Amino acid sequence: MPGRVRTRIPPSTRAFRALLSLYPSEFRDEYGREVVMVFEDRHRDASGIGQRALVWIEAIAGVLTEAPKEHARMVLQDLRFAARLARRSPAFTLTAILTLALGIGANGAIFQLIDAVGLQALPVRAPRELAEVRIAGGNKGFGINPGTYGGLTRPVWQEIEAHQEAFSSVAAWALSDVRVGERSSLQRQRAIVVSGEFFNTLGVRPHRGRLLDAADSVSVPCPGSKAVVSHGYWQRALGGREIGKGDALLKVDGAPFEIVGVTPPGFFGLAVGETFDIALPFCVPKVLRRDLFSVGVFGRLRPGWTIDRATAHLDALSTGIFEAAAPTDYSPDAIKRFKEFRLEAASFARGASWLRSEYTTSLRLLLAIAGLVLLIAAANLANLLLARASAREREVAIRLAIGASRGKLIRQFLAESVLLAALGAVFSILLARILSRALVWALTTEGSAPTLTLATNWRVLLFTAAVACATCIVFGVAPALRATGIRPAEAMKSGGRGATESRGHLATQRVMVVTQVAVSLVLLVAALLFVRSFRNLMTFDPGIRLDGISIAFFGYPETKLPPERLADFQRQLVDEIRRLPGIVNAATTTNIPLLGASWEHGLQIGAVENSAKFTWVGPEYFNTMGVPILEGRGFSVRDTRESPRVAVVNQTFVRNFGGGARVIGQTLRTSPEPGFPSTVYEIVGVIPDTRYSDIRNPTPPMVFAPDAQYPGLGPWAVVMIQSRIDPAAAVAAIAQHMSKAHPEIVAESTLFQARVRDRMVRDRLLATLAGFFGILAAVLAMVGLYGMISFAVAQRRQEIGIRVALGANRRTVVTMLLRDAARLVAIGVTIGMVLSLAAGRAAPALLFGLEPHDPLTLGLAAIVLTVVAGAASYLPARGASRLDPLAALRHD
Amino acid sequence: MPPRRQPSIEPAPESFLPLPRDTFHILVSLADRERHGYSVMQDVAERTDGQLRLSPSTLYASIKRLLDQRLIEELAERPDPEHDDERRRYYRLTRLGRRVATAEARRLERLLSDARATGLLAREG
């Protein structure tokens, strides 16, 4: 105040003023001075340190209790105001909430899946104390590796159990398929085979009866006699009947088991995404293979032990363990490699999961894509809110002019966004529950149906809240700042029209449009990449026939055939099938191609020591699978157990080991393995390169030999069948024939092409979702661009009217407007290209047959987006050029 | 802020009851004269023998609410220019405020007489 002597502000007042900053600014502006004065009065009137201290305590306590209340009151008031606004434009409100619910829901659904596959702990006692024991770096394909979860051999497991000190208890497990029931009604079920301490180590309590323990496995000869069933199987197959009365017998792979208990509901084993029906005990086999990596080992850490300490301990034990458990019938080199393995410990709190390793990258990528789509949608909402904000410019100007604080106005604008985002988030949680289940359903194939615990837990809720907040910031903050950043005088001067010419508004909108175009280009590129990659996979010619091929598995242990009769019986079986109506050809194989299986044999050709994929096949195999013989001959019925050993190799083999020379007539010698003594084969033919275990992987060197000369011949056969009728009908015909002619043989069959396609589920999911999101992104960007151009046209109505009145032709007007749009699109596309190239680094492992920086894809995406953007801008621009100049000028 | 319109129908005084303790004391202290914030605070402390001590924050939180509820209003002019500090704001009861304070006082009175009737309190005189 003029003339007033400025006195020094006492420190107590200054301190109290600082304390008042805890209040909302509105309250401070209105009552701050008064509150300070009252405080000063009290402080002055208080005598002595004791009273002053009391004044301070009361003051602080008062501020601390009242300031939060004041904030809450403000927020409530703003939200009520926002709710009134929202009710006034229900169409906008509904659109916004729906957009947000879908956008946040899509993100939430994918996150729920990531959570279920990769973040949830096992439903057992203190899962964080569990650690897995494995070979550091894996066994690099040594020996036989039948399953996904087996990392160690039984002898190695026994050594660990005998010598380790890191764990209070250790256990081993394996998953396998078993056939349950009588021969007439066999059903394939999933079994978990467990060591004695398995349930004890996990701390799982029985739901009924008892669980398996050491007495069921130690020194019990195979196949064992006691079994436990899962809660699901107990309900489904046993009708939840009482257990443990001695009458609950189950025939598993032909052997009787007594069911002694039921595992609790919710216990699915250790493999996330999978479940088991029956738990069988480890038993003592007649021969313990020392090269069969079939079991997983884990333990519960002793109190005070960490993963690192356990690893150090296991590493110290490794030499002794692998020395004692080394296989014998291998080459000295191979045995040396085995003895060099080192053990390590790793956290097992979240269990094992094939699904996790298969899908984590894809799901994260999809989450990123869904996040970007949400970003574009939020940008559109921001544009809508901006447009509404400009409509309210005059109101805002007046309120600013009569002294409303900018902070309060910003808060009111934000309150509307917060309200929309919060409502969107609430609905998104419901949507996410549905969408995540749909995602799991999309991953389901005949061969595998993931069973996941999709929970709306605190992680999912936290994620949803975070996404909603981020979205809210994107679409709420810019309009709020823009709308309140105007100068009151200007806004009111500009008459009834939407105020300040909105240059700033347009600038904000321009940034949004460039962002939208750039981000949608990235999404379009992703969509095209995954769709084209999937198409490449579907149409890729693996070099072998897929169409019209079915696979039959036969097991005949009950025939008790002597080994020398097995080959003949196999031939007879194949001949019978070939004679069935509709069947063209059939041949046995020891390895089914393209379904992930692999069988490698060490070999020596000339001086070269190496290895190749080995398959023993029937005489008609190459014909059945449509593989031509390029050189030499294929196999025939004259290749028998007694005839000289012969082999057919592929071109990669010739390239790698033949040194470019003619390989026909050369010999190769296999390295010894248990059951497969070193043998010399003469190469008699060459076939082209065909894909081996997976369509995606390049062809390895391959060797084929006649099935009759297979050293591992047993009472079983896998037959590839080519039919001229529908393979499903062929499969039915075979089943009918087998049950009539050979009731003692266990027969199963499946369709080759369908199983190969099952392995492309991930690619299909990526292509479908990325494609969907890509199209959505383009549409959203189009809407954004359309909105921006329409707004620009509305802003420049007068100018356009004058131009047209002065004789500008319509094309000039359209060009003028389009030039602006074109510039933005060009900037957006350029930025999008750079982003796509950068983002592409995450994708190569998921793509087949094309690179992330595939120029055709990038070009196509840019063209599509430019065309879409052109259409979105042309419509409003053409509308503007048709303006009646008189009407436009009269507008003001 | 845009000017508020006076509601055409005054709310019933009973709808405010029972009043929070602080609120009632503030209304009582404004019953006989207009006061500024510190004066209200002193008056309340005096009348309650220092039992009820309002902090500046709680005082103004109540004042703000009472203004919003239209139970008190701010004076446009200074009542006592000689002793007045020109920066201070003065408050007085509105008609509604007075009716509400009276209603609360009656309610308390009835409560008191009930307590006497049951022998909980000794009768006066």
Q: What are A437-486's pLDDT values in tens digits? A: 998 888 888 767 788 888 888 999 999 999 998 888 888 887 777 777 65
Lowest-confidence region among A211-215, A271-275, A431-435, A442-446: A442-446
The three-point CA angle B59-B63-B64 to 5° equals: 120
Section A17-29 average pLDDT: 85
The per-residue DSSP string of B30-77 comes to TTSS-EEHHHHHHHHHHHTTTSS---HHHHHHHHHHHHHTTSEEE-SS
pLDDT, residue A809, reads 81
Section A573-595 average pLDDT: 94
Closest CA to A35 of B56, B40, B88, B38: B56
Identify whether the C-beta of residue A386 lies closer than 8 Å to the C-beta of residue A482: yes
Section A302-311 average pLDDT: 95
Is pLDDT above 80 for B122? no
H or E stretch covering A844: none
Q: Do B56 and A38 touch (CB under 8 A)?
A: yes
> Tokens for A430?
């419901």
Placement of tokens 């390989």 in the chain:
A663
Q: Do B60 and A35 touch (CB under 8 A)?
A: yes
Please state, in angstroms and rounded to a whole number, the distance separating the CA atoms of residues A578 and A586. Answer: 6
Section A249-269 average pLDDT: 89
Q: What is the pLDDT of residues B75-116, one digit of tens each?
A: 876 666 555 556 688 899 999 999 999 999 999 999 999 988
Please name every residue paired with A553 in a beta bridge, in sequence order, or none if there are none.
A718, A748
Identify whether the C-beta of residue A424 lies closer than 8 Å to the C-beta of residue A99: yes
pLDDT, residue A488, reads 54
The answer to whether residue B122 neighbours chain A at the CB level (below 8 Å) is: no
Burial A222-251 (b: 16+ CB within 10 A, else e): ebbbbbbbbbbbbeebeeeeebeeeebebe
Q: Do B58 and A42 touch (CB under 8 A)?
A: no
* Helices and strands, number each (H, E), in chain B: 4, 3
Is pLDDT above 50 for A245? yes
pLDDT, residue A873, reads 84
Q: What is the pLDDT of residues A833-875, one digit of tens each?
A: 999 998 888 778 888 888 888 899 999 999 988 888 888 888 8
Q: Do B38 and A37 touch (CB under 8 A)?
A: yes
Is pLDDT above 50 for A92? yes
Q: Do A59 and B56 touch (CB under 8 A)?
A: yes
Q: Do B57 and A35 touch (CB under 8 A)?
A: yes
Higher pLDDT, A34 or A192: A192
Chain A residues inside the 8 Å CB shell of B60? 31, 34-35, 38, 66
pLDDT above 90 covers a percentage of chain A that reads 39
Is pLDDT above 90 for A279? yes
- Closest residue to B61, CB basis, from A42, A61, A69: A69
Closest CA to A199 of A212, A218, A215, A216: A212
pLDDT, residue B1, reads 44
Closest CA to A622 of A640, A601, A648, A646: A648
Is pLDDT above 90 for A168? yes
pLDDT, residue A1, reads 44
Higher pLDDT, A330 or A719: A719
Closest CA to A335 of A291, A289, A294: A291
Q: Do B57 and A63 touch (CB under 8 A)?
A: yes
Q: What is the 3-state secondary structure of A45-97?
A: HCCHHHHHHHHHHHHHHHHHHHHHHHHHHHHHHHHHHHHHHHHHCHHHHHHHH
Q: What is the pLDDT of residues B32-63, one digit of tens each?
A: 888 888 889 889 988 888 888 888 888 898 99
The answer to whether residue B37 neighbours chain A at the CB level (below 8 Å) is: yes
Q: Do B38 and A399 touch (CB under 8 A)?
A: no
Chain B residues inside the 8 Å CB shell of A27? 64
Cα Dmax for chain A: 123
pLDDT above 70 covers a percentage of chain A that reads 95
pLDDT, residue A501, reads 46
Nearest chain B Cα distance for residue A8, angstroms: 18
Nearest chain A Cα distance for residue B85, angstroms: 11
Chain A residues inside the 8 Å CB shell of B58? 62, 65-66
- Which residue on chain B is closest to A41 by alpha carbon? B38
Q: Is the ipTM of this complex over 0.85?
A: no
Lowest-confidence region among A166-180, A499-513, A622-636, A707-721: A499-513
Is pLDDT above 70 for A891? no
Phi-psi domain of A771 (left: phi exceeds 0; alpha: psi -120 through 50; beta: other): alpha
> Tokens for A821?
């749009």
Chain A residues inside the 8 Å CB shell of B2? 398-399, 402
pLDDT, residue A3, reads 47
Identify whether the C-beta of residue A527 lies closer than 8 Å to the C-beta of residue A860: no
Please state, in angstroms and rounded to a whole number, the distance separating the CA atoms of residues A270 and A67. Answer: 52
Please state, in angstroms and rounded to a whole number, the distance separating the CA atoms of residues B58 and B27. Answer: 14
The answer to whether residue A882 neighbours chain B at the CB level (below 8 Å) is: no
Is pLDDT above 50 for A206? yes
pLDDT, residue A793, reads 76
> Tokens for A145?
């590796």
Higher pLDDT, A3 or A411: A411
For A579, phi then psi, to 5°, come to -85, -10
Looking at residue A543, what DSSP letter applies? Answer: S
pLDDT, residue B123, reads 62
Q: What is the pLDDT of residues A635-682, one digit of tens each?
A: 999 999 899 999 999 999 999 887 767 889 999 999 888 888 899 999
Q: What is the pLDDT of residues A345-397, one digit of tens each?
A: 999 999 988 888 888 888 998 999 999 999 888 888 888 887 777 777 777 78
The Cβ-side half-sphere exposure at A201, using a 13 Å CA radius, reads: 29
Q: What is the pLDDT of residues A37-83, one digit of tens each?
A: 888 888 888 888 888 888 888 888 888 988 899 889 888 888 898 89
Identify whether the C-beta of residue A759 lies closer than 8 Å to the C-beta of residue A443: no
Please state, in angstroms and rounded to a whole number, the distance separating the CA atoms of residues A800 and A83. Answer: 38
The per-residue DSSP string of A448-514 comes to ---B------HHHHHHHHHHHHHHHIIIIIHHHHHHHSS-HHHHHHTTTSSSSTTHHHHHHHHHHHH
Is pLDDT above 60 for A491? no
The Cβ-side half-sphere exposure at A381, using a 13 Å CA radius, reads: 32
Chain B residues inside the 8 Å CB shell of A58? 53, 55
pLDDT, residue B78, reads 63
Is pLDDT above 50 for A15? yes
To test the contact with chain A by mutation, choose from B29, B55, B72 the residue with the greatest count of A C-beta atoms within 10 A, namely: B55
pLDDT, residue B100, reads 92
Total Cβ atoms within 10 A of residue A576: 16
Please state, in angstroms and rounded to a whole number, the distance separating the CA atoms of residues A709 and A820. Answer: 76
Query: If pLDDT is split at 50, 70 and 90, which confidence band does A795 have?
Result: confident
User: β-pairing, A255-262 with A226-229?
Assistant: parallel
